[in-house]
Amino acid sequence: MTLPRYFALIPAAGIGARIGGSTPKQYVSIAGKAMLRHVLDTFSDTVAISHTFVVVSAEDGYINDIMAEPPDHHAGITVLRVGGPTRQLSVLNGLHAAREWIGDDDWVLVHDAARPGLNDSLVDKLIQTLKDDEVGGLLAVPVVDTLKRMDESGRVENTVAREHLWAAQTPQMFPYGLLKKALEQAAAVTDEAGAIEALGLKPKLVTGHACNFKVTLPEDVALAELYLKGLV
């Protein structure tokens, strides 16, 4: 019996409007390297990952420069210029484009290009936790802040109980065949776990880490740099 393999898929076709500037968010430099480069290096350094696919737009003018930079381990990375207008379409297009490399029972780890703080220990933890799971799952962290729901006037409508609430991170790891089916059938979803949930399945939560936060606003860049430099 052939053992399932593990593939990384990085949707990186967005423009990151909230972070400002003319450079797409995934190419903003943090700690001396583009955010996307940090992510690609992490998967390249993770022994369990067979290959990494990065999905960019057809018009992307930055990815070639990233791929030309040392170190010379980019043989394990394939650029797919099939990015769509949404994350869901970019991931689905990437799955279709990578079909010849990946079997239905192989695992796909979908990770945000804007989470440069991911490390190989977190990837290994996710794989070891989910490798025998029937559904798959995702990194996530328990919500620790008090949550308030806002009304239309900008005032507090009520306090939301935080028990059993988790903030989703990535990678989100599911078998190729199941993930493709879920994304093809789902209405608009903001992450892969949501598409799996729409099939009536329950992804497993695997405790992540604060370092793996999503860089969204300009002030997030400085915090990400502190994590990547090991200062926090």
Band of pLDDT at residue 14, cut at 50, 70 and 90: confident
Q: What is the pLDDT of residues 94-112, one digit of tens each?
A: 999 999 999 999 999 999 9
Q: What is the pLDDT of residues 178-218, one digit of tens each?
A: 999 999 999 999 999 999 999 999 999 999 999 999 999 98
Q: What is the pLDDT of residues 113-138, one digit of tens each?
A: 999 999 999 999 999 999 999 999 99
Question: Does CATH place domain 6-228 in 3.90.550.10?
Answer: yes
Domain layout of the chain by residue ranges: 6-228
Bond into 71 cis (ω within 30): yes
Higher pLDDT, 121 or 14: 121
Band of pLDDT at residue 15, cut at 50, 70 and 90: confident
